[in-house]
Amino acid sequence: MMKWIGAFVIIAATTSGGFLWAKRYSDRPKQLRQLKAALQALEAEIMYGMTPLAEASEHLAGQFSGPVSAFFHQFSIILQEDGSKVQEAWDESLSRVRHQTAFGKGDREVILQFGTTLGRHDRNHQQKHIRLTISHLEREEAEARDAQQRNEKMIKSLGFLAGLLIVLLLM
């Protein structure tokens, strides 16, 4: 009886591990879509609202959820409290929420590169940089969807099969 309970626990643990691992594949495209929408909203705040960056970031944090909201909230806090440069605040806020996101290395590169241009140009050039970043994020999102379709189901199955293998080896 105890063997069966142990076998069930092992299979349940590895299966849930597989599902958690696969969740990153489904979270990445969602978070990239949210970030694109946030950058479009930031573009509107900059172009039409002429809102200060810290205030615009706080507005964005309230409009979105999850890691994107946390990112813009941290960015707003760092800008208001530390009085640091925009690029430093951008980089610091990304590093603070890094563990919450499902962003890949390429995603982070695009986001960090955008941070180097933020606040350094006039509104028209800033709008061009935002649109360029959005197009890069669209490319990353397409890649993320492709990776999700290729890997998500396999990883879920792999978690279950790994548990089954462990159980068979132990019995």
Determine the residue type at 66: G
Residue-averaged pLDDT of the chain: 86
Buried b vs exposed e over 111-125: b needs ≥16 C-beta within 10 Å?
Answer: beebbebbeeeeeee
Please give the model's pTM, rounded to 2 decimal places.
0.81
Give per-residue pLDDT as tens, 21-44.
Answer: 888 888 889 989 999 999 898 888
HSE-CB at 108 with a 13 A cutoff on CA atoms is: 15
Domain boundaries defined on the chain: 2-170
CA dihedral 110, 143, 67, 12 (to 10 degrees): -140
